[in-house]
Homo-oligomer: A and B are copies of this chain.
Amino acid sequence: MESLQQLSLRFSEISMFPFFDMAHYLSSVLSLREQPGAMEVALRSPIACWFSAMLCCFGGGILSSMLLAEPPAAFLANTTNVFLASACWYLIFYYPRNMFYKCCSFLPLRLMLAGMKEVTRTWKIVNGVLHANSRFSNAWIIMIAIGWVRGAGGGLISNFEQLVRGVWKPESNELLKMSYPVKVALIGAVLFTLQQTQHLPVSRHSLMLMYSTFLVVTKVTMMLTHSTTSPFAPFEAVLGRMLFGLEQASENIKSDTCTSSNGTGQASKPLIHECNDSPATSDAIERESSTVTRERQTKKAD
């Protein structure tokens, strides 16, 4: 037991620079490169691509600075880290014959990078919570917000990161349809805030070890099984039913939306688009809704 304590204490003293930071940059830039259209942007405008990559790598810090009215450009003052991130960006996008990208995509390496990136997430959330606490003492909503934003920066900023690359998808954002990393960062921010305000009877370093382990194990499992379903889905369903009466309601609304989508026009379109991501179902629903329209017209005719 004591050795576990010591292990967690040692773990919490690991420095993120340079290896973990580099894994974070590599992992972020790799997922940027795999976005549709990213490679075209890289070849048309290296500056837009670089800026986009920096938003992916330093998004959390930028967003948190904006929320706390600290200079969002401050991350550029850390020349070493910007260089490291830029080097990762350059090698992944422009190394001849995509050799570097192919290397990094090699599954075992990729798994290691993803695991190390998850560790940096813990550090970021902890630093965010502590920093918010130093600015606004005991304002626990701000502590959660800053911890969350630091931990899930790249995701929350994604709409604007896409805008830099000329892509604009207003109908989807990370608040409307939270991805797994954004959810897990929110839970982490809540946990570390509870720990900070001493509502959680556990030391910070133990919590860091437990949370990091959970993050890494879940991430690696999800990558190996190609699963995209969040491990929180059952809890979410229960919570949603208890707090918001979501289950029945969302079914009601679904049928409501589908039938009423012809009438309401503009405003409900984004929602419809959102729920039919795959073209196949989209077609099906379109057919269905046109049937509904026809039925309505028939009724009117009657």
**A14 close to chain B: CB less than 8 A:** no
A152-182 vs B, Cβ < 8 Å mask (1 yes, 0 no): 0000000100011111111111011110000
**A142 close to chain B: CB less than 8 A:** yes
Q: Are A168 and B167 in contact (CB under 8 A)?
A: no
List which A44-91 residues lie within 8 A (CB) of chain B. Answer: 44-48, 51, 65-74, 76-77, 79, 82
Residues of B within 8 A of A39 (CB): 253
CA distance A60 to B139 in the complex (A): 21
Residues of B within 8 A of A44 (CB): 176-177, 250, 271, 274
CA distance A172 to B70 in the complex (A): 29
CA distance A44 to B256 in the complex (A): 13
**A233 close to chain B: CB less than 8 A:** no
The contact of A79 among B79, B140, B176, by CB within 8 Å, is: B140
Indicate how many identical chains form the complex.
3
Q: Are A43 and B279 in contact (CB under 8 A)?
A: no
CA distance A271 to B170 in the complex (A): 17
**A141 close to chain B: CB less than 8 A:** yes
**CB-nearest residue of chain B relative to A163?**
B170
Q: Are A45 and B271 in contact (CB under 8 A)?
A: no
List which A247-302 residues lie within 8 A (CB) of chain B. Answer: 249-250, 253, 257, 264-268, 270-271, 274, 279
Residues of B within 8 A of A139 (CB): 76-77, 79
| Best-surrounded residue of A146, A171, A172 (most CB of chain B within 10 A) | A171
CA distance A202 to B257 in the complex (A): 54
Among the 9-residue stretches A25-33, A101-109, A210-218, A238-246, the one with 4 or more Cβ atoms under 8 Å from chain B is A238-246
Distance in Å from the Cβ of A178 to the closest Cβ of chain B? 7
The contact of A173 among B48, B169, B249, by CB within 8 Å, is: B48
**A145 close to chain B: CB less than 8 A:** yes
Residues of B within 8 A of A170 (CB): 163, 166-168
A224-244 vs B, Cβ < 8 Å mask (1 yes, 0 no): 000000000000000010011
Residues of B within 8 A of A198 (CB): none
The contact of A69 among B51, B72, B243, B274, by CB within 8 Å, is: B72
CA distance A39 to B256 in the complex (A): 11
Q: Are B175 and A45 in contact (CB under 8 A)?
A: yes
| Best-surrounded residue of A36, A41, A176, A270 (most CB of chain B within 10 A) | A176
**CB-nearest residue of chain B relative to A172?**
B166
Residues of B within 8 A of A168 (CB): 168, 170-171, 270
Beyond the given A46-B240, A47-B175, A166-B274, could you list 13 further A-B residue pairs with CB under 8 A, ordered by the A residue number? Answer: A37-B271, A39-B253, A43-B250, A44-B176, A47-B178, A67-B71, A67-B72, A69-B69, A79-B140, A93-B244, A96-B245, A163-B173, A166-B271
Offer 9 A-B interface pairs, CB within 8 angstroms, sorted by A. A36-B267, A37-B267, A45-B176, A69-B72, A73-B142, A74-B142, A77-B141, A168-B170, A169-B266
